[in-house]
Chains A and B, each alone.
Chain A
């Protein structure tokens, strides 16, 4: 660690208890309207769902060790990948960063005491949990075998699994998402501290604002689509099934109008975290603040225009295919702007490699690879060859895991001292970040090759020539599992044995670091006055201090 230890000013006299001490009863947690406590409620919930979905993935990887379907039946396998997809997408990835770190940090970063509608915030969590309970019921009652995409008419007419229960779960949690998005938008508009102009907002806020716009504009379409699917399934009203006058491609249009922007719901918040980590651990102002801020909005907008690339083989018109292909290439531009600006921030910075920074650097590499392989899939001709192969699986796991999960882990390590008031063990953190990076690449890189060679997704048995890549992938998955379990262990350990965290352990800028760790109930003892922009770092100053220290 080569960040200069500042002499920390003595903590201000405690005017009110910190948010963790403010109540110890179950009631004080379940009826809380404190955005920080709600963030923690979400944290426990999504970790629970993450492990359920991860176990399903583990069983799938074990099955794929051998070419024959010898561990589970093909029907069970279908239920496993549906469970993994549904739970990971709607009950982990989409809520992960916005509801945990977003909830905790957005009011603090803009100098507010809470979000605009604290009670609505709690209602969001209850809706999310109600949705989660329906999803759990669907799993326990026997599962769903449609895949997470619920393609009709299989889901609406023919599947004998628990489609309605699972769809109800997603429907309910969707309303939680809409309310969270609405709350964040109004909070950013109305609750900023004096002097916190739009261009003094941290980029974390800009990205979350863009995410919230997508949440509010896209999620209702998913709700309507699932409702229409349920109407057809329960009452046989012909909407998507051609035998009763419906159109199955219409389902795909509506589903992907939500589900493609949903990718940006998952990855924009991760970009939000990275935009905070890179300047802090390079001790440098972010390069191209406005470009990154507007790139977030551009991603949110362009993300709505590209959904047709999921349907190139579903029989859309040649003209529509062409338009969607062109538009899909466009979304690479704002994503590349961000990657280049982060890289330019590193240039001539005073870089140090603490755990959050390791995750951030991992993110840049893996997200770039995931994004670039996305261009293969935006190209019509290549997509026809690669659709429904492991290439797709590898591509979106590079975005979802390499992007969102690494961002989430980086953010959790960075703000863990603020959230809990304790430091995690740094060496263990660095080890876990490396193990995750190695395990991830070993799991998913072979899948690019598998897909290119033509191995289709969603089968529990495969041709023997694919085995070596599948064995590599399963080996990688076991290493990745270690990378996930390690932080859980040392985070819990740090709650009791970790070193007490000062208010600003990373010497970071940003209002959240100007208040004690853990923060008081109302975040600040007095409303902060903002007089300068974010990322007020100076690498020359850091280098000078380092030289002084080392003589």
Chain B
């Protein structure tokens, strides 16, 4: 087990940072950044996640094996997101055999609207 003792001050700082980031998330959602809105939200979420995992959950001070397990969890999340998005992002990219090219274009345009 990791014997590293972390001072309460560190925890308080992490908590404060999380609170500030929470308000940032809320603030960013109020402003329309267009395509960058989800990017900003995800970046803030990743920073929050890293603060919790690395400091609050002690992964930063733990053995390499713990690092491997934490990374595996992250990798698994990526598998889920990648293969799921592999469906959503490629819908309508293959023309069904029973539709002519103009018919298919009309279909995909109406779907994207």
Residues on A facing B (Cβ under 8 Å): 189, 213, 217, 221, 249-250, 253-254, 257, 304-305, 307-308, 316-320, 323-324
* B73, B86, B92, most chain A CB atoms within 10 A: B86
A320 adjacent to B90 (CB under 8 Å): yes
User: Could you say which of B17-25, B31-39, B51-59, B75-83 contacts chain A?
Assistant: B75-83
The digit string for B59-98, where 1 denotes a CB below 8 A from any CB of A, is 0000001000000110010011001101110111110000
A217 adjacent to B76 (CB under 8 Å): yes
- Residues of A within 8 Å of B94, CB to CB, are 317-319
Given the contacts A253-B84, A308-B83, A317 and B90 also touching, CB distance less than 8 Å: yes
Given the contacts A189-B65, A308-B83, A319 and B93 also touching, CB distance less than 8 Å: yes
* A117, chain B: closest CB distance, angstroms: 12
A317 adjacent to B91 (CB under 8 Å): yes
- Residues of A within 8 Å of B91, CB to CB, are 316-317
With A and B bound together, what is the CA distance between A168 and B65 in angstroms? 33
Chain A contact residues: helix, strand, loop or mixed = helix
The residue on B at minimum CB distance from A327 is B83
The residue on B at minimum CB distance from A322 is B94
B79 adjacent to A316 (CB under 8 Å): no
Given the contacts A317-B92, A319-B93, A319-B94, A304 and B86 also touching, CB distance less than 8 Å: no
With A and B bound together, what is the CA distance between A242 and B65 in angstroms? 43
With A and B bound together, what is the CA distance between A317 and B95 in angstroms? 11
Since A217-B72, A254-B84, A323-B86 are in contact, a sample of 12 more A-B pairs with Cβ atoms closer than 8 Å, ordered by chain A residue number, is: A189-B65, A217-B76, A249-B87, A250-B84, A317-B88, A317-B90, A317-B91, A318-B93, A319-B90, A319-B93, A320-B83, A324-B83
With A and B bound together, what is the CA distance between A170 and B76 in angstroms? 22
The residue on A at minimum CB distance from B95 is A318
* B58, chain A: closest CB distance, angstroms: 15
With A and B bound together, what is the CA distance between A145 and B91 in angstroms? 31
- Residues of B within 8 Å of A307, CB to CB, are 83
Which 9 pairs show the lowest CB-CB distances between chains A and B? A320-B87, A319-B90, A318-B94, A317-B90, A317-B91, A316-B87, A253-B84, A217-B76, A320-B86
* B100, chain A: closest CB distance, angstroms: 17
The residue on B at minimum CB distance from A321 is B87
Given the contacts A217-B72, A217-B73, A304-B76, A323 and B83 also touching, CB distance less than 8 Å: yes
* A221, chain B: closest CB distance, angstroms: 7
- Residues of B within 8 Å of A250, CB to CB, are 84
A221 adjacent to B93 (CB under 8 Å): no
- Residues of A within 8 Å of B84, CB to CB, are 250, 253-254, 257
- Residues of A within 8 Å of B90, CB to CB, are 317-320
- Residues of B within 8 Å of A317, CB to CB, are 86-88, 90-94
Could you pull out 6 A-B pairs where Cβ atoms are within 8 angstroms? A304-B79, A317-B88, A317-B93, A317-B94, A319-B86, A319-B90
* B74, chain A: closest CB distance, angstroms: 11
With A and B bound together, what is the CA distance between A320 and B91 in angstroms? 8
With A and B bound together, what is the CA distance between A250 and B85 in angstroms? 10
- Residues of A within 8 Å of B65, CB to CB, are 189
- Residues of A within 8 Å of B73, CB to CB, are 217
- Residues of B within 8 Å of A319, CB to CB, are 86-87, 90, 93-94
Given the contacts A317-B94, A319-B93, A221 and B80 also touching, CB distance less than 8 Å: yes
* B72, B73, B90, B92, most chain A CB atoms within 10 A: B90
B87 adjacent to A305 (CB under 8 Å): no
B93 adjacent to A305 (CB under 8 Å): no
With A and B bound together, what is the CA distance between A307 and B80 in angstroms? 10
* A276, chain B: closest CB distance, angstroms: 27
With A and B bound together, what is the CA distance between A253 and B84 in angstroms? 7
- Residues of B within 8 Å of A213, CB to CB, are 72
With A and B bound together, what is the CA distance between A250 and B88 in angstroms? 9
B79 adjacent to A305 (CB under 8 Å): yes
With A and B bound together, what is the CA distance between A221 and B90 in angstroms? 24
With A and B bound together, what is the CA distance between A324 and B82 in angstroms? 12
- Residues of B within 8 Å of A320, CB to CB, are 83, 86-87, 90
* A306, chain B: closest CB distance, angstroms: 9
- Residues of B within 8 Å of A249, CB to CB, are 87
B76 adjacent to A305 (CB under 8 Å): no
* B72, B86, B87, B88, most chain A CB atoms within 10 A: B87
With A and B bound together, what is the CA distance between A130 and B8 in angstroms? 36
* B68, chain A: closest CB distance, angstroms: 11
With A and B bound together, what is the CA distance between A437 and B90 in angstroms? 46
- Residues of B within 8 Å of A316, CB to CB, are 87, 91
* A254, A308, A318, most chain B CB atoms within 10 A: A318
The digit string for B88-113, where 1 denotes a CB below 8 A from any CB of A, is 10111110000000000000000000
- Residues of A within 8 Å of B88, CB to CB, are 317
* A161, chain B: closest CB distance, angstroms: 29
- Residues of A within 8 Å of B76, CB to CB, are 217, 304
With A and B bound together, what is the CA distance between A319 and B84 in angstroms? 12
- Residues of B within 8 Å of A257, CB to CB, are 80, 84
A253 adjacent to B72 (CB under 8 Å): no
With A and B bound together, what is the CA distance between A318 and B97 in angstroms? 12
Given the contacts A317-B91, A318-B94, A319-B90, A305 and B72 also touching, CB distance less than 8 Å: no
With A and B bound together, what is the CA distance between A254 and B87 in angstroms? 13
The residue on A at minimum CB distance from B86 is A320
The residue on A at minimum CB distance from B76 is A217
The residue on A at minimum CB distance from B84 is A253
With A and B bound together, what is the CA distance between A446 and B98 in angstroms? 36
* B38, chain A: closest CB distance, angstroms: 16
Looking at the complex, which one of A189, A217, A221, A308 makes contact with B87 (CB distance below 8 Å)?
A308
With A and B bound together, what is the CA distance between A213 and B94 in angstroms? 37
* B76, B86, B91, B92, most chain A CB atoms within 10 A: B76
